[in-house]
């Protein structure tokens, strides 16, 4: 399993659980990186790219779990999910730009995303 995230809290606290690809960029850039890895490295989504019921324009951080495969083919279902997530992201960002959040608000967003990621790993029994 690989963690793809732009959340520094996830990078700091979960990076020993499995390989981590840290994106120094926005939520949308995380989605684009996941799509690129699905196409180029044939990874498969393990978590939904829009998990957490948080609208893309209402947070800054996103953590997505994928798994490496030995397949020589692109996982079409993963590709469709990530393309759909990118379309949703672009729609929300176009309709309502994010405000310039304070550091305290960004820390809260980081914690929420971290909590979702930690809960996902717990359910997958990765950290046990």
The closest of 126, 42, 53, 117 to 78, measured between CA atoms, is 42
DSSP 63-99: EEEEE----SS--HHHHHHHHHHHHHHHHHHHHSPPP
**pLDDT string in tens for the chain (128-residue length):** 999 999 999 999 886 768 999 999 999 999 999 999 999 999 999 999 998 778 888 889 999 999 999 899 999 999 999 999 999 999 988 877 777 889 999 999 999 999 999 998 888 876 54
pTM over 0.85: yes
Question: CB of 114 within 8 A of CB of 7?
Answer: yes
Of 123, 82, 128, 111, nearest in space to 13 by CA: 111
């Amino acid at each position: 399993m690989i963690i793809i995230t732009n959340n520094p809290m996830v990078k700091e606290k979960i990076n020993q659980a499995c390989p981590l690809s840290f994106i120094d960029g926005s939520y949308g850039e995380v989605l684009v990186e996941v799509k690129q890895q699905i196409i180029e490295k044939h990874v498969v989504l393990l978590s939904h790219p829009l998990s957490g019921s948080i609208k893309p324009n209402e947070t800054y951080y996103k953590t997505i779990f994928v798994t490496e495969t030995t397949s020589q083919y692109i996982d079409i279902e993963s590709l469709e999910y990530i393309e759909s997530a990118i379309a949703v992201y672009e729609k929300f960002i176009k309709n309502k730009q994010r405000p310039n959040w304070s550091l305290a608000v960004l820390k809260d967003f980081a914690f929420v995303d971290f909590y979702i990621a930690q809960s996902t790993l717990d359910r997958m029994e990765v950290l046990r």
